[in-house]
């Protein structure tokens, strides 16, 4: 079991003084030309989405509020991104955008929205995790801890050899991770959107990744399905691990049963000879269930 989280030196440097006053958009954008470029791309991105009604405008304002622009400024100033350029995915709680660095390389920038996040769910998953000691009901602080949780889960999984995006850095409600896609900037599709050409081979690769996830990283995904497995050149890449919990979490067994049920059902529909019992036997190597 890990100790309670501590910020790295890099995180502390990025975070700065928590009590600092949030600057205005004009002050933030005027301090660094790279951020001015990023903000211009943000505005371009928003306009390209053809916002037609008040609900869409509300979502855009929730993503790029003053506090988030301040975070993006800090990350740009540290060299983690130069320009925001295009959306990768849009979810109920977070949006993932492409970030372009000075050298032209691409990163994925995941921005959690304060206004639309499910705080009760987040509190439940974090409160039962022995790695965290979070008692605050402050929504922004809870989001920050949720992002930290996803960062730590990705790092732990990568160390265990699981095929997940590499965690690069996190700050407040923004997480920067490895971009999974081609050299032209096209993101890898999910299995839901692009089923594998050889489902049996893909399934075997996925089971191997799930085995490392569960038995080496000692984590349970908790929401595994074809929606959060990427098909990257016929290789499975597992994403969206913010809700993933340690194996001794109070609900870990229930979540694992659900993951096994989902994967068994979805790949059975693709023609793979699998079952809940078979997958359980392959993944559970002790009396965990």
Residues with catalytic roles: 223, 240
DSSP secondary structure code for residue 99 in this structure = E
Which burial class, exposed, middle or buried, applies to 136 when counting CB atoms under 10 A from its CB (0-12, 13-18, 19+)?
A: exposed
Distance CA 161, CA 151 (A): 16
DSSP 187-238: BPPBTTTS--SSHHHHHHHHHHHHHHHHHTS-EE-SS-SGGGEEEETTEEEE
Distance CA 104, CA 81 (A): 10
């Amino acid at each position: 079991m890990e100790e309670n989280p501590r910020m790295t030196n890099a995180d502390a440097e990025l975070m700065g003084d928590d009590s600092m006053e949030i600057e205005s958009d004009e002050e933030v954008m005027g301090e660094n030309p790279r951020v001015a470029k990023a903000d211009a791309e943000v505005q371009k991105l928003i306009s390209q989405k053809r916002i037609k009604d008040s609900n869409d405008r509300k979502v855009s304002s929730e993503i790029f509020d003053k506090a988030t622009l301040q975070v993006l400024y800090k990350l740009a100033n540290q060299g983690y991104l130069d320009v925001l350029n295009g959306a990768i995915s849009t979810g109920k709680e977070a949006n993932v955008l492409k970030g372009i660095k000075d050298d032209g390389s691409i990163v994925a920038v995941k921005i959690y929205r304060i206004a639309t996040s499910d705080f009760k769910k987040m509190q439940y998953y974090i409160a039962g995790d022995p790695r965290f000691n979070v008692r605050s009901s402050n929504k922004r602080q809870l989001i920050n801890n949720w992002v930290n949780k996803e960062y730590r889960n990705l790092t732990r999984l990568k160390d265990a050899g699981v095929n997940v995006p590499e965690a690069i850095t996190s700050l407040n409600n923004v997480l920067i991770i490895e971009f999974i896609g081609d050299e032209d900037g096209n993101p890898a599709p999910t299995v839901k959107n692009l089923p594998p050409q050889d489902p049996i081979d893909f399934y075997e690769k996925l089971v191997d990744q799930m085995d490392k996830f569960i038995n080496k990283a000692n984590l349970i995904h908790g929401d595994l399905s074809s929606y959060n497995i990427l098909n990257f050149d016929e290789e499975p890449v597992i994403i969206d691990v913010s809700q993933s919990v340690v194996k001794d979490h109070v609900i870990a067994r229930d979540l694992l049963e659900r993951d096994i049920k989902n994967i068994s059902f979805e790949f059975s529909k693709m023609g793979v000879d699998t079952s809940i019992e078979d997958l359980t036997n392959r993944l559970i190597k002790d009396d965990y269930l």
